[in-house]
């Protein structure tokens, strides 16, 4: 359990009644491509496709989760928010008065985000908080550079950047500690990937620059790091895959998440598993490729299923980053006891714990605690999930 999120603030916070100005921007479409398997929502055509597939907005709820944590201290915050769905609506729903920037629009763009960020910077805000993914981080970077502290509430799909808190509640804790307890700042990487390449199974990541971000190491995620592909690493992945295959049961549906370690399972079964998607196997055969949440739910209905995932290198997330197709509803149906985590030892060396950020606090709480991680053939270790 992430103790720091629950701890009491120091007496310094209680005694400091100074008013702080916080800029607040919500990208209302961020993350909509996740559950429907589109790996992002950059571009109007992709957003339209996501809506056709049944995608629902997730950013508003996560924005309100962040603001709800700040409600006891709202009299100390002067909130400047984007118009309507870009922050105003969420602020009003949580009982915050706010200065509104921009105009109400049915469809928002990156340019809207940049215009609002520019006005927040010009207003001399103490902190800019945005709810979005790597694309939104890039928009903010283009305007504020290192001239204004920035904090991301993760609501996107990819989130490779190091500007994000590990979740909305953690973001609220960071904001409070920074504003009233002098949490230090650090330069944090803003990364993004080419979504078209990503959908084709290729990771083309690029560093776009740095922003200043409040730094609390237990509550800020690290930049995503690729696992080293040495000969030893590949042997380790193969040993894990062999062990998983030997233990696969007949008529069980295996929901296998993205990653090189999980892809090795498909390689050894001579099946073409996607690198960056979620695939379904049964009786050691690929039965559905690059599936979304709806397809998973249809395939596991009235069947026994298992989820096999590997943590993201450098971040430790097993759910909520790049595999949103394995949604809270999927996890609820499959059950915690049927979740299998696999990871090569090299990946685990940089991780103190594993993390979850599914968007459903009750599921996150159920997943916390200790879980077995298969690290080699017939070899496992216990790791804490935060």
In sequence order, what are the residues at sequence separation of 6 or more whose Cβ sits closer than 8 angstroms to the Cβ of residue 227?
233, 260, 261, 313, 344, 346, 347
Instruction: Convert the pLDDT of each residue in 337-372 to its tens digit.
Output: 999 999 999 889 889 999 999 999 999 999 999 999
Task: Give the DSSP H/E element, type plus range, for residue 142.
Answer: helix 134-144
pLDDT for 195 beyond 70: no
Name the packing angle between helices 260-268 and 231-246 (round to 10°).
Answer: 60
Helix/strand number for the chain, H first, E second: 15, 16
Q: How far apart are CA 147 and CA 150, in angstroms?
A: 9
User: Tokens 């390449």, residue?
Assistant: 197
Q: What is the 3-class SS of 175-200, one letter each residue? A: HHHHHHHCCCEEEEEEEEECHHHHHC
In eight-state DSSP terms, residue 385 is E
* pLDDT score for 208: 95
What three-state secondary structure class fits 61?
Answer: helix
Instruction: Convert the pLDDT of each residue in 86-100 to its tens digit.
Output: 999 999 999 999 999
* pLDDT score for 231: 85
How large is the average pLDDT for residues 169-173? Answer: 96
* pLDDT score for 4: 36
* pLDDT score for 5: 38
Q: How far apart are CA 315 and CA 227, in angstroms?
A: 12
In eight-state DSSP terms, residue 249 is P
Strand partners, 78: 21
Q: Residue 278: what are its φ and ψ, rounded to 5°?
A: -105, 130
* pLDDT score for 294: 94
pLDDT for 202 beyond 60: no
Instruction: Convert the pLDDT of each residue in 51-87 to its tens digit.
Output: 677 778 889 999 999 999 999 999 999 999 999 999 9
* pLDDT score for 226: 64
Instruction: Convert the pLDDT of each residue in 25-49 to its tens digit.
Output: 999 988 777 676 665 566 667 667 7
pLDDT for 6 beyond 60: no
Give the right CATH number for 3-214 from 3.40.50.2300, 1.10.10.10, 3.40.50.10330, 3.90.79.10.
3.40.50.10330
pLDDT for 197 beyond 80: no
CB atoms within 10 A of CB 349: 7
CA angle 324, 66, 155 (to 5 degrees): 25
Q: How far apart are CA 40 and CA 135, in angstroms?
A: 9
How large is the average pLDDT for residues 6-19? Answer: 61
Q: How far apart are CA 187 and CA 163, in angstroms?
A: 9
Q: How far apart are CA 148 and CA 95, in angstroms?
A: 26
Q: Residue 223: what are its φ and ψ, rounded to 5°?
A: -70, 145
CB atoms within 10 A of CB 231: 7
Token pair, residue 204, equals 């083309």
* pLDDT score for 182: 79
Instruction: Convert the pLDDT of each residue in 295-331 to its tens digit.
Output: 999 999 999 999 999 999 889 999 999 899 999 999 9
Token pair, residue 38, equals 């589109």
Q: How far apart are CA 100 and CA 234, in angstroms?
A: 53
Lowest mean pLDDT: which of 36-40, 255-259, 262-266?
Answer: 36-40
pLDDT for 173 beyond 60: yes
How large is the average pLDDT for residues 165-187? Answer: 94
How large is the average pLDDT for residues 209-238? Answer: 86
* pLDDT score for 7: 45
Q: How far apart are CA 220 and CA 315, in angstroms?
A: 9
Predicted confidence band of residue 50 (pLDDT cuts 50, 70, 90): low
How large is the average pLDDT for residues 139-145? Answer: 97
Strand partners, 25: 130
């Amino acid at each position: 359990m992430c103790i720091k999120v629950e701890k009491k603030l120091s007496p310094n916070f209680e005694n400091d009644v100074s008013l702080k100005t916080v800029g607040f921007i919500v990208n209302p479409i961020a993350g909509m491509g996740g559950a429907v398997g589109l790996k992002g929502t950059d571009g109007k055509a992709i957003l339209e496709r996501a809506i056709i597939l049944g995608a629902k907005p997730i950013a508003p709820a996560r924005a309100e989760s962040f603001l709800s944590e700040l409600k006891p201290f709202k009299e100390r915050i002067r909130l400047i928010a984007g118009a309507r769905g870009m922050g105003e609506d969420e602020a009003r729903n949580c009982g915050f008065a706010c200065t509104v920037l921009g105009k109400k629009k049915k469809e928002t763009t990156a340019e809207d985000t940049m215009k609002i960020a520019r006005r927040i910077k010009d207003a001399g805000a103490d902190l800019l908080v945005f709810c979005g993914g790597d694309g939104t981080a890039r928009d903010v970077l283009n305007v504020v550079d290192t001239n204004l502290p920035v904090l991301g509430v993760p609501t996107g799909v990819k989130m490779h950047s190091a500007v994000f808190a590990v979740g909305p509640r953690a973001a609220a804790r960071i904001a409070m500690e920074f504003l009233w307890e002098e949490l230090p700042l650090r330069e944090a990487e803003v990364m993004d990937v080419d979504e078209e390449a990503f959908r084709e199974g290729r990771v083309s990541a690029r560093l776009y620059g740095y922003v200043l971000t409040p730094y609390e190491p237990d509550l800020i995620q690290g930049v995503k790091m690729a696992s080293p592909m040495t000969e030893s690493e590949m042997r380790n992945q193969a040993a894990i895959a062999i062990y998983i295959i030997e233990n696969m049961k007949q008529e069980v549906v295996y929901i296998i998440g993205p990653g090189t370690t999980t892809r090795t399972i498909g390689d050894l079964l001579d099946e073409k598993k996607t690198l960056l998607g979620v695939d379904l196997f049964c009786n050691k055969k690929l039965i559905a490729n690059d599936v979304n949440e709806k397809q998973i739910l249809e395939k596991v209905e009235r069947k026994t299923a298992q989820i096999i995932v590997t943590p993201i290198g450098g971040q430790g997330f097993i759910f909520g980053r790049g595999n949103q197709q394995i949604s809270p509803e999927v996890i609820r149906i499959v059950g915690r006891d049927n979740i299998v985590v696999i990871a090569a030892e090299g990946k685990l060396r940089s991780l103190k714990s594993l993390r979850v950020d599914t968007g459903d606090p009750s599921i996150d709480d159920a997943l916390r605690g200790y879980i077995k991680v298969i690290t080699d053939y017939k070899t496992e270790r216990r790791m804490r999930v935060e």
